[in-house]
Amino acid sequence: MAIQWFPGHMHLTRKAIGERIKEIDVVIEMLDARLPGSSANPMLAELIKGKPALKILSKQDLADPVRTALWLDHYNALPVVSAMGLDTSMTQPSKALIEACRQLAPNRGGMVKPMRVLICGIPNVGKSTLINTLKGKRAAKTGDEAGITKQELRIALADDFYLYDTPGVLWPRIIVAQSGYNLAASGAIGVNAFDEEEVALELLNYLMAHYPQALADRYKIENVPSYTDETLLEAIGFGRGAMQSGGRVNTTKAAHIVIHDFRSGALGRTTLETPEQFALWLAEGKKADAERTVRKEASDKSKKTQPK
């Protein structure tokens, strides 16, 4: 099942970004270090039209450091793009952020030409938390829920440095199936838009292939590769006491446990995609989307030519 989530306020945010971008010098896009490709907004790439961009990999303390390095190298190799990791251990993120933006737009600065920076990202990526850290107070609402921020804010980080915050925004249609699951697992998608069991099974399937020891350590289960994603979810539910009447495992509760453990970092430092994996998923998604468009156009044409 394809996962989609694009509430009404996101349409307004898309329009607002399109207007604001005309006077912006640098665009900061916050990405989830555990799913950098899936959390990168293709709609934003279209809107910024080649403006200098700073990619911030947030929550890197929860991500696989080896894979984070691969993603930073990937983004830093792109033209007019700089990338940096960010986590709660950074005591002066504003200094690093401001310096990175000034390097991307060296001709901006001073009271005559103040730096104007737009910061954006998917819901629940940690943007509001970063802004509060930059300001040293609660400048923006935070919470472990997708879609907390609903309006644009302007924040002065220095006399000649203005940061414009926007609500978290996804894109109208997610064409990479795995991205939908990864976004749901991370908390970027509203809980009513996906089935927790389905997302937990996809998450377990990936972790079994790439981080089996993390699962074994967390859930005290031996020989993880011998399980299927479904039998592993059952074993996790049994081990955690997620039971219902008749001695059966409550798989919905077990799924909730798995997703919560991933989001909180209880499973250890894990990353759900590499640049190479995501490139492959994206190519497959674009191909499937193109085929879908052809089928739809053929269907529409057939309907128009049918006699009434």
Give the residue from 110, 162, 171 showing the smallest Cα distance to 134: 162
Rounded to whole angstroms, the Cα distance separating 241 from 248 reads 10
Please tell me the pTM assigned to this model.
0.86
DSSP 101-162: HHHHSTT-BTTTB-EEEEEEESTTSSHHHHHHHHHTS--S---SSTT---S-EEEEEETTEE
Q: Give the side-chain half-sphere CA count within 13 A for 286.
A: 6
Residue length of the chain: 308
In this structure, how many other beta carbons lie within 10 angstroms of the beta carbon of residue 37? 23
The DSSP bridge partners found for residue 243 are 249
More confident position, 189 or 70:
70
Mapped onto helix, strand or coil, the DSSP state of residue 54 is: strand
The tokens for 105 are: 């737009």
Task: Quick: pLDDT tens for 187-234.
Answer: 988 888 899 999 999 999 999 999 999 999 999 999 999 999 999 999
CB 289 within 8 A of CB 175: yes
In the predicted model, what is the mean pLDDT of residues 123-127?
A: 85
DSSP H or E stretch at residue 85: strand 81-85
288 φ, ψ to 5°? Answer: -65, -40
Residue 145 is predicted with a pLDDT of 41
- Domain 8-165 architecture: 3-Layer(aba) Sandwich (3.40)
Q: Any idea which fold 195-264 has?
A: Conserved Hypothetical Protein Ylqf; Chain: A; domain 2 (1.10.1580)
Residues ≥6 apart with Cβ < 8 Å to 74:
275
Could you tell me the sign of the dihedral formed by the alpha carbons of 46, 23, 136, 13, in that order? negative
Q: For the chain, what percent of residues have pLDDT higher than 70?
A: 87
Task: Quick: pLDDT tens for 132-188.
Answer: 777 765 444 434 444 444 456 788 888 889 998 877 777 678 889 999 999 999 998
Residue 11 is predicted with a pLDDT of 62
Residue 173 is predicted with a pLDDT of 80
In the predicted model, what is the mean pLDDT of residues 43-58?
A: 87
AA identity, residue 78: L
Tell me the H-state helices in the chain: 8-20, 42-48, 65-76, 93-104, 127-135, 177-186, 196-210, 212-219, 229-239, 251-264, 275-305
* CA-atom Rg of the chain in angstroms: 21
Residue 236 in this model has a pLDDT that exceeds 50: yes
Highest mean pLDDT among 33-37, 115-119, 298-302: 33-37
Which residue ranges make up each domain of the chain? 8-165, 195-264
The tokens for 291 are: 């085929």
The DSSP bridge partners found for residue 300 are none
